[in-house]
Structure 1
Amino acid sequence: MRRTTTARVLIGLAGVAAGLSLASCSVGGGSGPAGNLAGAGASFPAAIYQRWFQELAGQGVRANYQSVGSGAGVRQFTAGTVDFAASDAPMKEDEIAKVSRGVLQIPMTAGAIAVAYNNAGCDLKLSQQQLADIFLGKITNYSQLGCADKKITVVHRSDGSGTTYNFTKHLAAISDAWKNGPGTSKTVAWPTGVGAKGNEGVAAQLNQVEGGLGYVESAYVKGKLQAAALTNGSGQVVKPTSASESEALASIDLGPDLIGGNPNPMKGYPIVTFTWILAYQNGNGAKADLLKKAFNFMLSEQAQAQAPALGYVTMPAPVIEKAKAAVAKIGS
């Protein structure tokens, strides 16, 4: 069984309001620097980030995180209007070149992208061909997938999205028609379906539309939604669970820059990804220590242990170690 609804409940997605000015006192039992941080970006990790930021508030770190999508987060980060950003797709070299303060891309959590659908009584088990054909608009009815007659309404992201980037990377890896057609990007020309903003928006739309089918981070599969079983690179048909996601995640080699991925793993659930905090390497001023305090807490054993209950995957210890080394590079 997938995690319970209560375990996946999305906490405080409107953001945690900033309320403390920069100071170096201890607040609520916390120690070290205290103050405000502003961040924006991916909706994929928003649920767990908001939980962590609620806990950090008691330690004097007030973080206002806006779940606006990876594309918008990268734009705000590039413009220098936030203290940090978040993205499910690593920044490319040409994007990094636009940031004069230097860029650190720090893996912070991980999860799966589920194919969620609203059709009670239908237990979807999709081949790779079927998955691609649904989003190519070639399969339009659940009867073509072994369920009762019902129209499929595809729901996709309308905003620039790292979730879309990773989902379309998988589609391109399993389908030449997708690879040579819509392709891989944070935004693509969808052959079918209706758009919604953010993982939150897609999940809400799917819950409202009988027969709806779309892609969301697994933590958003709740209410009327179910997650389809998908076929991995070795032909196994797998549902997203903590165990199957962790198994697939273990196949990812992040590399020296900590930005690797695997769009079609041979083991486990086939669509998994890390998600990254984007930090400035230099020019952080007095907020450098505040950023380090926040990110080191997020990488702590206490924080990472919360991931499965919220619909995410606890990162492997070697990845956490490398991520902490990247955090140490944040300079004033």
Structure 2
Amino acid sequence: MKIITTIKNVFFAALLLGVTGSITPGCNGNSGKESGSDSTSTASSGTNDDKTLLGAGSTFVYPLFSKQFSEYNKLTGLKINYQSIGSGGGILQLTNKTVDFGDSDAPLTEEQAQKMGVPVLHIPMCSGAVVISYNLPEVKDTLKISPEVLAEIYLGKITKWNDAKIAAINAGVKLPATPIVIAHRSDGSGTTNIFTDYLCKVNDEWKTKVGKGTSVNWPQGIGGKGNEGVAGLIKQTPGGIGYIELAYAVQNKMAYAKVQNKSGNYITPNIASTSAASNVQLPADSKIFLGNTDAADGYPISGFTWALIYQEQNYNNRSQERAQNVVKLLWWTIHDGQQFCQGLNYAPLSPAAVTVAENILKSATFNAKPLM
């Protein structure tokens, strides 16, 4: 029954997204649970098969991983079973050592790192935009949203689409009196971390009352699991608004707003504006937040997504071949795999970011010896 449930979930996600490529479905129908109670059986099914790698985490990067892992399978025969369960779930499964790699749109917190107990590498995969999508079919113009308006919507202060503050920045647009229905993530999510980090930077009340993180106590709204869940809520709800990764909005032909950046410009989220936001100096460990960029042409709600692996790969009776397969996969992803970013509305890594990612991967070891 669990196998059937998982296949249905994967099929539904593929229908919703319209994404080219596939990811081998897992055997764990409850893989999205934050408890991780069922994750051990999922990982153990592939532990002795070094030609199948197990990953879990970010739904933000799912459309890209789907394509990349499909192409890598054609090249090498290696299968990658990636569960799109949210960054929090991926971190939990990596903590429990039931996957070969996790993926998160937020770096590990100090508490998460302590639970890991040993060094974890963060390898940047790409950067992407978190867009503000809305369901107002009667509005044909692309709406503009300022930081103040966005924060007040999510704080529950602006409750109708024809509110004076929305109208003031959308001159000439006939706005309906439709109630605003807020959608947000219900699971631990790096997309949420990107979004709430941005709100903290632009609104003191949000910073004080709600804060940032992969999961927060939302003042208003209804929750959906994964980017696909929030996208589904928006599409099904007249007056709905929510934050989702750009690829989900584009693939599903959903409307999304121009957002005002620090320079006062209303920016359309796309490859160019996301690249502009991510054109920054990366620290050696690659951990950086891109929200509220200083770039005049940069989209202000964007961020990196990171593959997470243990630096020392000899654990849980893993073979050296398995460890090498993980490192080779990620090396390909930050090089040849980058060609698939733009077609799926992700910003490829800059040459400088690739160099940082290379250096991080070169620090991975097996029995304290470099794998590369």
The aligned counterpart of 2:345 is 311
**Offset from partner CA, 1:69-107 (integer Å, 9 cap, x none):** 011111111111111100000012332232244211110
The aligned counterpart of 2:38 is none
Question: Is the 2:131–2:244 contact (alpha carbons within 8 Å) kept by the matching residues of 1?
Answer: yes
1:203 is aligned to 2:231: yes
**Offset from partner CA, 1:183-206 (integer Å, 9 cap, x none):** 111111111110000001001111
The aligned counterpart of 1:57 is 73
79 and 249 in structure 1: CA distance in 2 versus 1, 3 angstrom threshold: same
CA distance, structure 1, for counterparts of residue 79 and residue 86 of structure 2: 21
CA distance, structure 1, for counterparts of residue 109 and residue 219 of structure 2: 26
105 and 189 in structure 1: CA distance in 2 versus 1, 3 angstrom threshold: same
CA distance, structure 2, for counterparts of residue 224 and residue 308 of structure 1: 17
The aligned counterpart of 1:29 is none
The aligned counterpart of 2:136 is 119
1:132 is aligned to 2:151: yes
The aligned counterpart of 1:152 is 180
The aligned counterpart of 1:96 is 113
1:296 is aligned to 2:331: yes
The aligned counterpart of 2:221 is 193
1:242 is aligned to 2:271: yes
RMSD, matched Cα: 2.1
Question: Is the 2:68–2:340 contact (alpha carbons within 8 Å) kept by the matching residues of 1?
Answer: no
CA distance, structure 1, for counterparts of residue 182 and residue 191 of structure 2: 16
Question: Is the 1:16–1:54 contact (alpha carbons within 8 Å) kept by the matching residues of 2?
Answer: no
Q: Give the unaligned 5+ runs of structure 2.
A: 1-16, 28-44, 168-174, 367-372
327 and 57 in structure 1: CA distance in 2 versus 1, 3 angstrom threshold: same
More helix by share: 2
Give the aligned length. Answer: 314
The aligned counterpart of 1:46 is 62
CA distance, structure 2, for counterparts of residue 254 and residue 201 of structure 1: 32
CA distance, structure 1, for counterparts of residue 185 and residue 20 of structure 2: 21
CA distance, structure 2, for counterparts of residue 162 and residue 176 of structure 1: 21
**Offset from partner CA, 1:256-289 (integer Å, 9 cap, x none):** 2110113211221101101000011113432111
The aligned counterpart of 1:3 is none
Choose which of 235, 257, 261 in structure 2 pairs with 1:228.
Answer: 257
CA shift for structure 1 position 162: 0.6
Letter in 2 for 1:38: L
The aligned counterpart of 2:307 is 277
CA shift for structure 1 position 22: 6.8
CA distance, structure 1, for counterparts of residue 360 and residue 223 of structure 2: 36
CA distance, structure 2, for counterparts of residue 14 and residue 196 of structure 1: 22
Question: Is the 1:117–1:214 contact (alpha carbons within 8 Å) kept by the matching residues of 2?
Answer: yes
Question: Is the 1:118–1:224 contact (alpha carbons within 8 Å) kept by the matching residues of 2?
Answer: no
Letter in 2 for 1:184: K
Range that drifts further, 319-328 or 95-104: 95-104
CA shift for structure 1 position 67: 0.5
Paired-residue identity, %:
37
CA distance, structure 1, for counterparts of residue 262 and residue 47 of structure 2: 51
Question: Is the 2:102–2:308 contact (alpha carbons within 8 Å) kept by the matching residues of 1?
Answer: yes
**Offset from partner CA, 1:25-46 (integer Å, 9 cap, x none):** xxxxxxxxx6111010010001
